[in-house]
A and B are shown apart, each in its own frame.
Chain A
């Protein structure tokens, strides 16, 4: 943890990973196909949403089934501020993150009073409440019509420009989230995941940290929602629907919740599958459900996690002398 820690090969490996991912995303518009840019934009937005969710689930061990509320509140903050308040986008986007944090400060203290499956239930119930309000409040949110034609600044109107803008915001957020996870604060979150009771014995106020994790996760989820609203030029209550919360859980688990970029990878895979299935049938839910079922039954550690442990096992078999097993 000390700042003078010598740089290890692991650090360089990590830096290389970041640069590789960044370069890959930055190169996508060069392919010149509009579809790729659209897809990559969605992957970045959902990837940020999923990585923010994973701060809560993978790193703190709190399975929230209500993150769509934060994603949606971010989208609606941007949409409403731009279309009604006539605020500039540069104010609306940070305001989205602030709105997400505020909502977490409101609902979080109630949710963290309970743990385990109770916590999950509460997050879902409260998210449905927020969805219900947005869905029914025609005068303010546009109800189930949502809001279309959100005016965007001229600078960001071209899809490619908006894509690079998203790329910068998302990777800055990734960097911040990575710093949070690696900080002493992040170490406390991970110890709460391992054993909340013992963490409490260390004199740490567990609930306060859990609330902080919810606020941070909510803020970044809302930022993702705000980015989505700017890109779609429209908002819709579906952004807050519980299936969105389920989707982000699935993305994280599919990619692997124990790795930082796992959820981003999961987001890419799921969005790609949805797009493919969407071309052939309107019944995409059953496919997602089936994939999820298969993952739960056959890939208990997520697809990436399970592949990792297969590779590790294969390596161990090669190095027969080495008795240390990673699994």
Chain B
């Protein structure tokens, strides 16, 4: 196989890894801190993508402002979901089942709201000129847009590391993750923190959607595809572990990218095969759960 092709696939895989990581890290953060598995997380990716379409392609807001506002919008929707609905079922008997139903109902609702507002046609947004074309390193090419997405993903990873590990807010999150009641009695405002985490995590999902919008076409079904991919990522990495999301996303992004070379139509099956292997040999995930900070 020629090395240019390998490099192209590597970069393509890394780009989709980063998109997956942004969604999966939010999923893992919510699970680690709020103790909820948010099946609707892919829907916030969807919202982010459509918000970006609305802002950039329809309303003519600049690309960067559009992406940022789209992420914030998705985050706001997430915080609303937590504050008005999810909050009401914390601590109820058989909570897991209700969480799944509640978040599932949001997939259906958000899907239909998106269809009502934007229809079912494919949408696309154009990227800014500065991100057209490629960077060249020797005889290797990296599409500028891919480089930006990869950089953005790494930046978010770094930022989240700082937030969880070094900030006061992060200390509170780790405390809540370890023992919610104890954290509360020590003066942490748990309800506010939970809403903020939910907002932050869904904003990451929205950011992922907004950044993906120029490279993948925007369709109403995208949310489900993304949530399935993210689920595979967190099963591989270890749910509730932030670094697990990064490792899992890297593996799945690359495995899928190289799988396309061998079996174009069935590339997604490679991701499932990796997941099955992890389940057989290390069912708890590659990185064991040691709280959200790993």
Contacts and interface: CB of A to CB of B under 8 A. Distances in A.
A242 B116 CA distance: 21
Interface in A98-130: 110, 113-114, 116-118, 120-122, 124-126, 128-129
B88 interface: yes
A289 B109 contact: yes
B235 interface: yes
Given A242-B224, A285-B108, A117 B96 contact: yes
B98 interface: yes
Given A116-B96, A125-B272, A297-B89, A283 B228 contact: no
Q: Which one of B108, B109, B112, B276 has the highest number of Cβ atoms from chain A below 10 Å of its Cβ?
A: B108
Contacts of B33: none
Nearest to A282: B115
The B interface, classified by DSSP as helix, strand, loop or mixed, is helix
Interface in A47-63: 57, 63
Contacts of A293: 85, 102, 105-106, 109
Contacts of A246: 104, 108
For the side of the interface on A, what is the size category? 35 or more
The A interface, classified by DSSP as helix, strand, loop or mixed, is helix
A300 interface: yes
A113 B266 contact: no
Contact of B101 (A118, A132, A133, A249): A249
Contacts of A84: none
Interface residues of B, number: 43
B170 to A, nearest CB: 24
A296 interface: yes
Interface string B232-251: 10110001000000000000
Interface string B90-114: 0011001111111011111101110
Interface of B: 31, 37, 39, 85, 88-89, 92-93, 96-102, 104-109, 111-113, 115-116, 224, 228, 231-232, 234-235, 239, 265-266, 268-269, 272, 275-276, 279-280, 283
Interface of A: 57, 63, 65, 110, 113-114, 116-118, 120-122, 124-126, 128-129, 132-133, 136, 242-243, 246, 249-250, 253, 283, 285-286, 288-290, 292-293, 295-297, 300
17 contacts: A110-B276, A114-B235, A117-B37, A117-B239, A120-B37, A120-B96, A122-B279, A136-B265, A242-B224, A249-B104, A253-B97, A286-B112, A289-B104, A289-B105, A290-B109, A295-B101, A297-B85
